[in-house]
Amino acid sequence: MSRDFSLELLEQDEKARVLDIGCGDGEFTRQVVNKTQSDKIYGVEISPKYAERACQNGVNVVMADIDSGLPFEDTSFDIVVSNQVIEHVNSTDNFIRECHRILKNGGICVSSTPNLASFHNIFSLILGYQPFAAAVSDELVCGNPLDPCDGQQIPSFRRHRRIFTAPALGRLFEFHGFKVEALKGVGLHPLPLFLSRHIKWTRYSLFLTIKARKLEA
């Protein structure tokens, strides 16, 4: 669902160098290729298993822990995308700063993330439960009996470190030298997608997607 919005915000540019941060198995990266029409596609992935699959999908993959920085030179890319990644990193400031560093002047960053202010999170708080998107442990899902995963152990890489609202997401990108060109939401949980896709209520949507352009120095 958030992937569709990310693709909508991308620009066609056959000459662009494109980076997918947290590229997984490369399936979404291939959709980015189709939208941008660029064959200069790179990915960053921490999992050897997924990195191998992404390579099989034609992605130039670099294995790295993005919490340690992005292993690329300054102004290396025209487009940077990240789908459901920023909420997992230890430092959101460093993540956005690194995206800014590797982008050329005028380059764009398109990033999606869960929305802390989505209706199902607000409803959970009203009931006194932990919001679905906000983890309190690196090992255990707990605090919300409405969550199907409540009480289950989870791998540490699936935990959420920081969850954004729409105003906070836009403001932080601006703080780090970007101009926000679009900030959209998709989904109004628990409404089904065929209904919620027609209701534009970004501030309370299930997922947020931002398109931010690096300002010229």
Indicate the pTM of the whole model: 0.90
CA distances from 172 to 32, 66, 129, 177 (A): 25, 18, 27, 9
What CATH architecture is 2-114+164-187+207-214? 3-Layer(aba) Sandwich (3.40)
Mark the ranges of the chain whose per-residue pLDDT is less than 50: none
Q: pLDDT tens digit string along 165-194?
A: 999 999 999 999 999 999 998 876 666 665
Q: pLDDT tens digit string along 54-85?
A: 999 899 999 999 999 999 999 999 999 999 99
Please tell me the predicted confidence (pLDDT) of residue 98.
98
Domain ranges of the chain: 2-114+164-187+207-214
Please tell me the predicted confidence (pLDDT) of residue 202.
87
Token pair of 42 as six digits:
């790179």
Please tell me the predicted confidence (pLDDT) of residue 1.
55
Please tell me the predicted confidence (pLDDT) of residue 101.
98
Please tell me the predicted confidence (pLDDT) of residue 199.
65
